[in-house]
Amino acid sequence: MNHFCLGILSDGLQVTVDHEVTYNSQSICGLKGSSVVMTCFYTPPTNQTVSSVFWFSPKQRHHWWSEDQPEDLLLDGDYMGRVKYTGTEGRSSTLTITDLRLGDSGVYHCLYVSNEGRYSDLTGVNITVTGLQVKTSAHNVTEGQDVTLTCSTSCSLSNNPTFVWYKNGKTVISKHDRKNNKLYLISLNTEDQGNYSCGVKGHNLISSAVTLYISVLSGYASETHTGVYASAGVIILLTVSLLCAVLWIRKRRRNNLSERTESTGGEGRATSTPVCSNDSSQAVDTDDDNNVQYSSLQFGQRNKQNNKHQQRQGEDSDVLYASVRVPLTGLS
């Protein structure tokens, strides 16, 4: 039974497709700095002799002499000293990549060379390299609240890894709950404030830290803040009150001064002559000794702007004096 397909791989490589090339895994999630291991299995026809087996990755084709001719990963400068093959004597080959880097993410194929040509497969193994990142439900929290920290990866790590948590560089050993890749910080207090990072047991990689701030609403700190705010409020209130009082007093003085000015300016003015004056200048010759002589009455002018009540009060006082002169000859 012929299991070969003569032609070109899906990504333009001049390799014969052998559908009998298989792998122990189709995808692997590797932690940055760690190692991954993958194995391929192949079954060449009995009339073929396998001379060599190697691994390649299409993403590295820019390093090849010809971009349609895969080259051994061992010869790639990006993997120098980090790649190892084992088990190539039989019908399998195992690839180990150490000190994984984010740039190592990609598809890897196994290729065997026989007296009939070069053979590989279409699928390969997809490797994803991930770092660690701490995600928090909140950065600024109040004392007494809860926060959940998550040690996040871009892919699901295999073999059920154990996550380790650090606070300010020291392992977190406390009352807080831990489950899978999460750390549950319950009923926070000021002692929980700090820089949190995570790692995976058995690996040296530690994530960058996330800072958690705890706000205090009770105790000395809050009382101090409250006292400061209260003092500032009292000072502002007193300042405003004093300003209002000064303005009110000034306005009151202006009103009183205006009222006094109006009262003084509106009083009637009158001139008078004394009663029974013997002043010769006021003597009047009459033909009839019984005639009574009257002096003129003088009235002051009222301020037109005063109200009616003030006018009525003023009218009673407008006539100040009246001089009546009676001839003495007519009296008996």
Shared fold status for 4-129 and 132-215: yes
Topology of domain 132-215 in CATH is: Immunoglobulin-like (2.60.40)
Is the pTM of the predicted complex or chain greater than 0.85?
Answer: no
pLDDT at residue number 195: 95
Cα–Cα distance list, 94 to 14, 41, 230 (Å): 23, 9, 73
> CA-CA distance, 306 to 154, in Å (whole number)?
91
Q: Which fold has domain 4-129?
A: Immunoglobulin-like (2.60.40)
| Range of weakest confidence among 187-191, 192-196, 318-322, 324-328 | 318-322
Q: How many C-beta atoms surround the C-beta of residue 147 within 10 A?
A: 20
If one compares 254 and 98, the residue with the highest pLDDT of the two is 98
Q: Which of 109, 131, 116 is nearest to 32 (CA)?
A: 131
Q: What is the mean pLDDT of residues 22-45?
A: 94
- For residue 203, report the phi and psi dihedrals to the nearest 5 degrees: -125, 150
Sheet hosting strand 210-215, strand order edge to edge: 140-142, 210-215, 194-200, 163-167, 170-171
pLDDT band at 6 (very low <50, low <70, confident <90, very high): very low
In whole angstroms, give the CA distance from residue 196 to residue 11: 44
Question: Beta partners for 9?
Answer: none
Domain boundaries, the chain: 4-129, 132-215, 291-330
| 265-294: average pLDDT | 44
pLDDT at 272: 44
